[in-house]
Structure 1
């Protein structure tokens, strides 16, 4: 009788796990909507953050960029730890639930307009993201174990969910916050996170994930009290970490020390993984780290969208129909337009054996992102008497660098799961998100070059860069110095973007040249 019940249960789980929707595991679509609402909350808050600090809290540009960069760095520095805890103790499912709850509390308390709640709320979101982000991505990789040929397409669809949230959230939250009060906008972001948790819980109850994401076997072998104790310690530790993380955001000017410490810890852990891995695993891990480095460059440029580009749009772009915070939805809108075509493109090219290797995709992506920033810079050629540029250049630049994003971010998510040693998938996925952490750190440095009253570094004042900047922007730095403040601020933005675009394109071309070597490291992974 017991064996019959066990057999029926296994058959039910296998049936639930095996059902396909549009050729993909059914669990993908529950993860899709869970991630959609989580990203709704995340991007809704993020779109408002810099404008909230400069307009409402009256922080300077430099201080706002520093807080934004520190927050962004920490958001993506915590996933390796969250991934490791999931690998060893919680499993993906419990880690996702814990992270979602912490993020929901953080978004909701951010609606209380007080400095303690401001920094404490950002800290809760940082810690919660560390548990949520790497493990939901690892869940997507896990449900494609039996369909590895569809993993690129599956992650691209998953990426569509990320960007549906990213498109809708700035439009609604920023409109609500700037029209009726900031606390309403932040509160709506918190409600979005609650919806994300409800969708994930629905997938768990429906058994669409099969046995994926449960507590690791090493944790299950202990007695119930021990497991309960470990889970409780993780929760208590997460709560106790809130003041520490809040302090790191508040003292953001010391962020570089944190980056050095994170690098040192990661180096030690990765060295240990290298020692415990086979020759093939080590080679593939080298490829994963290479892609992580390129992703760092990508995020350093890309994350101008939430900081300097938002203020550029507010001060120097002739916006039509939307406010500056709402421009954060442009990138996600283009991704939604491109996601399904790219998903079908990769599948089609795989069938005809013409799908470009991952190193080529990354190289093309970097070049495209660089071109996008050159387009932002060239907008100054059409500046009006009020020092405002046509919105067309903002839209076109966003479109080109979004194309670049499609070659890097969803592809990278898929390849990290394939290139990582099986025992350390969540941790290496967390390392992948560290690229975004370092990217935010360097993005803050770039953004501060555009701050009001900032001075350009010496290399940007070289004769070559001056000539190049004038060719791209149509503006002469010395002439602009004698014009109004609006033109001086415009030149600060476009000269920085012209330089960023040039450097990114050059790095993309170098990455293209390195393709043969990296393909060897990948040991058969495409």
Structure 2
């Protein structure tokens, strides 16, 4: 699981939590009781998200598109588009909650949409497949940013328990992310795909029930209610604004389904029309990217010299984090297929390997946090650009270990699972060097008037990273239908060849970050 799930929750809440919010209701273990309702709601929601994610590419390759010669390419393209959209919609969902719905109603709407999506995915049919992913994308947009913000509303401004509260919440995220592939992966690959996806759906319903029960018991107090209740009750064309949000959410599903679609449609008047990711390519490169660039240029012109230089540093950090996630997000796609085809999976299946990263996050997160405090006290804590360089280098080392494994393969082209585990460990330590540190510095370096916008760009970098990750993963695509695709030593050389290239490119970007460190330090104007 990406540490960014936690850092997103923390920083979004920093931006949106109302000043002076009081702890509500009774306490438990020294924290507002509402925290633990949110803890379990998010745990089960992440269980559903990562349980489905662990099975998604394997399901497409081995079931839904198994008769297609380019099944790997189709599956990787859909997975990349799904990941890109999942990280884009929370920006919209957060805005709608802030201005109209309030956090609670947004969370409930998102949870219902996601539960429907998971159960629809259990029905093995292409129409339900695309529809279910669209439901998950829209639902995640409402759920993810707003449950995070709810945590922030439980603490007063300056409450010393706040960081500890987010750490507890973060552990719930990682527990869900670690356990989900083990359970859903086992059910899906042992008893059938619909059992695995169905288990993810059950997890989402449990999360929905936990959040609903928290609201019903009053532990959230008045936090998370609509900012102006009268506004959402206003009618447009005879329908309340609140109802319109739900209606438009469902009406948007075909649009998201089309963005995901990889295949051929028979359109009246157009004949056979092939969608090979070209729509997503247009949206990302010719709409979203130019808009972001223009707004950034506008703001660079408006701010003073020091703010401009700090903003340049934010842009550089955003560039490097996009590079990092582009390589990191091979997990779930090319790394999962590599695990299935070329790793001796002695005590877990390919889907379950997705639990390795969150396991190491749980293991290392607190020691890393303590390490930064220890180094700071001794004035030897590396500057942020140096941490980025070290983090990207560790990610490169992880992929180099995957590549080296080819030298120790057996006659069937399979390598020890310990290469996979060791590689994931270095990728995870690299993640802990860049993700939490980067988000913290974005809030410090961004001009105060546009900090929310810059945070939105930072989150959207994950969307672009998933898109780029798909382009990279397609280099590993093995042609042929089930039973005909290259396996054994042939597929091993394809995967490890690409992983080796990723490693060397990552090392190159790490060197670039080090070379830019002096000027970035200067432009940061005293921020470490």
| TM-score (structure 1 length as normaliser) | 0.81
CA contact (8 A) 2:38 2:211 kept: yes
Paired residue for 1:42? 49
The 2-side partners of 1:402 and 1:69 are apart by 20
State yes or no: 1:326 paired with 2:352: yes
- Match for residue 14 of structure 1? 22
- How many angstroms does 1:368 deviate by? 1.0
Aligned to 2:234: 225
Residues 77, 346 of structure 1: CA spacing in aligned structure 2 closer, same or farther, 3 A cutoff? same
**Number of residue pairs the alignment of both structures matches:** 484
Shift of 1:73: 1.3
Contact 1:155–1:411, Cα closer than 8 Å, also in 2: no
**Separation in structure 2 between the aligned mates of residue 276 and residue 406 of structure 1, nearest angstrom:** 34
Distance 1:223 1:304 in 2: 42
State the partner residue of 1:80: 91
CA distance in 1, matches of 2:77, 2:497: 21
**Once the 2 structures are TM-superposed, how far is the Cα of residue 381 of structure 1 from its aligned partner?**
1.4
Deviates more, 1:85-94 or 1:342-351: 342-351
Deviations 1:488-525 (A, max 9, x none): 21111111101101111221232234345445555666
SS in structure 2 at match of 1:78: helix
The answer for the alignment partner of 1:444 in structure 2 is: 470
Structure 2 residues not aligned, in runs of 5+: 1-19, 262-274, 481-485
Moved more, 133-142 or 322-331: 133-142
Shift, 1:193, TM fit: 1.5
What is residue 508 of structure 2 aligned with on the other side? 506
Q: How does 1:425-464 map to 2 (within 5 A)?
A: 428-453=454-479
Could you tell me which residue of structure 1 aligns to residue 39 of structure 2? 32
Shift, 1:192, TM fit: 1.2
CA–CA separation in structure 2 for the residues paired with 1:207 and 1:426: 30
Q: Give the structure-2-normalised TM-score.
A: 0.81
CA-based RMSD of the aligned residues comes to 3.4
Per-residue Cα deviation, 1:454-496 (whole angstroms, up to 9, x for no partner): 9xxxxxxxxxxxxxxxxxxxxxxxxxxxxx9522211111111
Closer, same or farther in 2 for the Cα pair 1:417/1:132, shift >3 Å? farther
| 1:103-502 aligned within 5 A | 103-140=114-151, 146-147=157-158, 157-204=168-215, 213-216=224-227, 219=228, 222=231, 224-225=233-234, 229-250=240-261, 251-254=275-278, 255-260=280-285, 261-268=287-294, 270=296, 286-349=312-375, 355-416=381-442, 428-453=454-479, 486-502=488-504
Secondary structure of the residue aligned to 1:14 is coil
User: CA-to-partner distance for each residue in 1:158-199, whole Å, 9 max, x for gaps?
Assistant: 443222111111111111111222111111101111222333
1:301–1:345 CA distance, 2 compared to 1 (3 A): same
Distance 1:70 1:290, change over 3 A: same
Shift of the 84–15 alpha-carbon distance from structure 1 to 2, 3 Å rule, reads closer
Q: Please say if residues 22 and 154 of structure 2, whose CA atoms lie closer than 8 Å, have aligned partners that are also in contact.
A: no
Distance across 1 between alignment mates of 2:154 and 2:443: 11
Would you say the 8 A contact 2:311–2:445 is kept in 1?
A: yes
Structure 1 equivalent of residue 79 of structure 2: 68
Secondary structure, in 3 states, of the residue corresponding to 2:292? helix
Stretches of structure 1 that go unaligned for 5 or more consecutive residues are 1-11, 455-483
Q: How far did 1:77 drift?
A: 2.0
